[in-house]
Amino acid sequence: MAPVSALLKRCLMSSLLIAFGQSAFAQTAADDIAKYREMIADGNPSELYEMSGEELWKKPAGPKNATLEKCDLGLGPGVVDGAAAVLPKYFKDTNRVQDLESRLMTCMDKLQGIPSQGIIDAKFGAGPKKDMDAIVAYIVTHSKGKKINVSTAHPKEKEMYAMGKRAFFFQGGPFDFSCASCHGASGKRIRLQDLPNITTQEGAALGWGYWPAYRVSSGQFWTMQQRLNDCFRQQRFPFPIYGSDVTIALSMYMAKNANGGMIQTPGLKR
């Protein structure tokens, strides 16, 4: 009992420090950052990616010289509107839960004859991943304004969610970080950037609902796969393989937690 009460006492002490230690200046800075974000919201360069993505979707490519227009992203062959709002999802033909990127790789393989390995191995923003970025921008733009509606009805979906939750809290690397280190509590910031609390519906919707996004600091459009990849890099973890289960499981955890929230993609992020 003693240790818990000691822990509690310390927790209360530090919360007092946090609550009253926050200066008015920090609040002003946060307001100014909000103003900055508002000012850049108009004219999201993601639109440039979306434009070329639409072309790529409709252009015959690969050894089979076929388009992606018959690709089933979960709402039936060729249905793009709202597709990103129901992913990740279990697909019978692959017997796997897939996110947008892994599903697109399946379509490119099956419809166009483009092997997935080349996409997995490519550098971000280069070669076949560049095309993938554009196609993702096109797809997610067509879910903007839709409600996030991810199912865990299928046992494999349920299992993926549970694995994602466990992965979210998994600490490792020389910094002892897990996703939860930064995204497990509300009202937290790194530097001046607000950290959404992914364990809550509100926070998960802020995270999941705004990615993929154009990232101002790198001047690039980032898919969720790239976003997660950079999270793991900053976590000082080894390199998550593109489209691997841990990335899909974490996406499932975020998306399901975000259910009911609004898709606002493509976002515009620092």
State the catalytic residues: 231
> Does 18 interact with other proteins (rule: CB under 8 A)?
yes
> Does 27 interact with other proteins (rule: CB under 8 A)?
yes
> Does 217 interact with other proteins (rule: CB under 8 A)?
yes
> Does 79 interact with other proteins (rule: CB under 8 A)?
no
H/E run at residue 190: strand 188-190
Nearer to other proteins, 64 or 188 (CB): 188
> Does 58 interact with other proteins (rule: CB under 8 A)?
no
Query: How many CB atoms are closer than 10 A to CB 140?
Result: 28
Q: Least Å distance between CB 96 and other proteins?
A: 12
Q: Please, are residues 77 and 71 in contact by the beta-carbon 8 Å criterion?
A: yes
* Beta-bridge partners for 96: 91
Q: What is the DSSP string of 46-62?
A: HHHHHHHHHHHHHS-BT
From the list 38-46, 57-65, 138-146, 256-264, the region that binds other proteins by CB under 8 A is: 38-46
Which residue matches tokens 């509107």? 81
Q: Least Å distance between CB 254 and other proteins?
A: 16
User: Which tokens in the block code for residue 85?
Assistant: 């709002």
Instruction: State how far the Cα of 221 lies from the Cα of 84, in Å rounded to an integer.
Output: 16
> Does 12 interact with other proteins (rule: CB under 8 A)?
yes
List binders of other proteins among 151-210 (CB under 8 A).
Answer: 163, 166-167, 169-178, 180-182, 184-193, 195
